[in-house]
């Protein structure tokens, strides 16, 4: 690949440079690697949290500047973050995630430097999200988000659906639509259908709709060796509610807690399907990771990955247990030939339109045009 960002320094600004950031964290890890692949230097700026040091290595050679938070963690006020950005001599800054103090710090940087500033909401303008914590979001809009959206060189949408959310919420119509990139597809060891294991990996949160998923699983007549494996992390209350549901479901369901690295890859590579019956998403990295491993998916339309349905890499489910159950039943009874077709379609998506090369090419053009003063169409 050519090096269109050679000599350029791009800042990636986000609330959390650790696993606590969930899918946004994974997207920022991928974005740093993408910038390096284009010859640029990526620097990560985030709020310090309890896993920052542990997860710093995920960013490889890209430096991570994590600044302390003063006051409520939900706000993330960190005056030293503004100072760190000012000292970095960046050619461009890219904010990942909204509704917290990094939006204000990014806006200040853009105002003071006059250099390109990109904003990626990562699904945080979805109606399911904006309907929650309305008064807090109203304060954030008035305090810094409207200024951030106005100052941005471009607001980035992961999908056409998110682009419509951005227009509705910000009034900005010159949206940049580029998907997340999937990991590089590894070889798929099994040539035939895998065992009847359905896998969830991600944040434990009410929007992921996991209680309905477990209820749907309990309602099924399943093969004797069928298993539902749930992996992830979340707030204590959400984890407690899930644990209670799993304990009531019997031995066929297991909550394994957080998994990373080789352990996560092994789970994706041995599951027959991955599932995400979510109520709200931007573009979920867990689905792209599953596809990269040749693992078909069961997912709701809110995952915003209609390409999966069109290509035959995914089964559509609804949101209630009664609507999730048929998709689970179909996944558990699919024959070997049909599963192999779905697996191949999944890997083709990960290696094609969602490949790192395809996505990097789009970002190279977007960053390069912005740095050289060209407007977004």
Return the SS3 of 270: helix
Beta carbons within 10 angstroms of residue 36's beta carbon: 19
The Cα–Cα gap between 160 and 150 comes to 20
The Cα–Cα gap between 178 and 358 comes to 10
Instruction: Tell me the pLDDT tens digit for each residue of 75-129.
Output: 999 999 999 999 999 999 999 999 999 999 999 999 999 999 999 999 999 998 8
Instruction: Tell me the pLDDT tens digit for each residue of 127-136.
Output: 988 888 888 8
User: Out of 3.40.50.2000, 3.40.30.10, 3.90.1170.50, 1.10.3720.10, which CATH number does the structure's domain 197-351 have?
Assistant: 3.40.50.2000
At 120, phi and psi to the nearest 5?
-115, 105
Which pLDDT score, from 0 to 100, does residue 209 have? 97
Which CATH number is 9-181+355-371 given? 3.40.50.2000
Mean of pLDDT over the chain: 93
Instruction: Tell me the pLDDT tens digit for each residue of 274-305.
Output: 999 999 888 898 999 999 999 999 999 999 99
Site of tokens 């904006």: 130
β-bridge mates for residue 200, sequence order: 230
At 343, phi and psi to the nearest 5?
-60, -45
pLDDT at 232 over 90: yes
For the chain, where do the domains classified as CATH 3.40.50.2000 start and end? 9-181+355-371, 197-351
């Amino acid at each position: 690949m050519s090096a269109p960002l050679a000599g350029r320094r791009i800042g990636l600004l986000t609330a959390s440079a650790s696993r606590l950031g969930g899918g946004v964290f994974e997207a920022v890890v991928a974005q740093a690697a993408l910038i390096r692949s284009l010859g640029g230097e990526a620097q990560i700026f985030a709020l310090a949290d309890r896993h920052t040091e542990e997860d710093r290595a995920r960013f490889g050679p890209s430096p991570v500047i994590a600044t302390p938070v003063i006051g409520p963690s939900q706000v993330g006020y960190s005056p030293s973050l503004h100072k760190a950005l000012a000292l970095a001599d960046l050619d461009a800054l890219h904010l990942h995630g909204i509704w917290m103090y990094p939006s204000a710090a990014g806006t200040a940087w853009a105002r003071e430097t006059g250099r390109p500033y990109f904003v990626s909401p990562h699904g945080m303008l979805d109606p399911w999200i904006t309907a929650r914590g309305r008064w807090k979001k109203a304060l954030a809009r008035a305090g810094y988000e409207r200024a951030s959206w106005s100052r941005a060189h471009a607001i980035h949408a992961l999908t056409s659906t998110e682009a419509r959310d951005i227009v509705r919420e910000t009034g900005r119509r010159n949206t940049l639509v580029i998907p997340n990139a999937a990991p590089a597809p590894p070889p798929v060891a099994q040539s035939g259908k895998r065992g009847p294991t359905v896998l969830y990996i991600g944040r434990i949160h009410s929007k992921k709709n996991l209680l309905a998923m477990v209820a749907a699983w309990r309602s099924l007549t399943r093969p004797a060796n069928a298993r539902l494996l749930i992996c992830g992390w979340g707030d204590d209350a959400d984890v407690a509610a899930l644990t209670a549901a799993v304990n009531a479901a019997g031995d066929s369901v297991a909550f394994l807690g957080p998994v990373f690295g080789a352990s996560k890859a092994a789970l994706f590579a041995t599951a027959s399907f991955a599932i995400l019956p979510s109520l709200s998403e931007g573009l979920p990295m867990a689905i792209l990771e599953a596809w990269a491993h040749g693992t078909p998916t069961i997912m709701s339309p809110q995952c915003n990955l209609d390409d999966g349905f069109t290509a035959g890499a995914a089964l559509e489910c609804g949101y209630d247990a009664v609507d999730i159950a048929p998709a689970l039943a179909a996944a558990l009874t699919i024959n070997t030939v049909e599963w192999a077709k779905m697996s191949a379609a999944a890997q083709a998506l990960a290696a094609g339109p969602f490949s790192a090369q395809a996505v990097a090419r789009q970002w190279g053009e977007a960053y390069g045009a912005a740095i050289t003063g060209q407007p977004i169409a």
